[in-house]
Amino acid sequence: MGTENADTVAPGTCPTANGMPMLGLGTWQNDDPEQCTESVRTALEMGYRHIDTAQIYDNEAAVGDGIARADVDREEVFLATKIWSSNLAPDDVLETARESIDRLGVDYVDLLYVHWPARAYEGEETLAAFSQLYDEGLIENVGISNFLPEQVADAVDSCDAPILANQVELHPMLPQPELRDACENAGVEVVAYSPIARGAVFDQPEIQDVAEKHGVSEAQVSLAWLREKGVIAIPKATGEEHLRDNWASLSLELDREDIEQIDSIDETNREVDPGFAPWN
């Protein structure tokens, strides 16, 4: 349902925020190498230009293979990966970032995130290593992930290189307005992982109503809502049908009534909640 507009959204027409395409492909749990490679290749040839991975996903090599196989120039792809929390001591950042770049088969990554402010993370020391990678041209931008508002401000103050984005769980059942405001005030973009709440949006009546009104999927509604909020979304998808449905969300324009209906959802549902998270 709702995929008929996917082919009308041309490659290169996805809106951007500070150079980041506002719809990307997440690859969490896409750990079958051939499937992951094919998902990335298919997405890029469909029009996606933002690919997100991480050391802990154990698929950087497959993601790199997908980029290499796609009929798309590397320079057109915004590629992000993340340093796992046990690798955040400065020397480990420098060593494992180079290993990630080697696995990806590229000369640089467009964005390198601190995956969680936990375990080996030490503010100024960790971010100094990220700044060194930035100065060396191995990363184009520094990112943070799962940072609370006060941690965002501290990171911006501590990092010599500019911080481009904070990647967090964000969807209609976890809208995080205070965090979005804090990031906006700090000049940091917000990237949403789990933007369809691991499928929970399909069961949300308010989203179902808007989806029915527009003749699209609930996933498209959630992704369009995020875009209206100025949030970049990286839904994970493996099969072509889901890739195409998510891509078609770029054609969906929600009206004020739609936005108000989605904003009225009176429910908080955090899907990703490890014990080491900063809010625990």
Which amino acids are annotated catalytic? 57
CB of 90 within 8 A of CB of 120?
Answer: no
Sign for the pseudo-dihedral over CA of 260, 261, 266, 270? negative
SS3 173: coil
> Kindly report the CA angle at 159 between 26 and 104, in degrees rounded to 5?
35
Sign for the pseudo-dihedral over CA of 259, 263, 267, 270? positive
State the Rg of the chain over Cα: 18
CB of 65 within 8 A of CB of 20?
Answer: no
Which letter does DSSP use for residue 51 in this model?
A: E
Structure-token pair, residue 7: 């082919």
Instruction: Say how far apart CA 182 and CA 91 lie, in whole Å.
Output: 30
Instruction: Say how far apart CA 33 and CA 31 lie, in whole Å.
Output: 6
Structure-token pair, residue 132: 């060194």
Instruction: Say how far apart CA 151 and CA 33 lie, in whole Å.
Output: 35
Q: Which residues are registered as beta bridge partners of 23?
A: 233
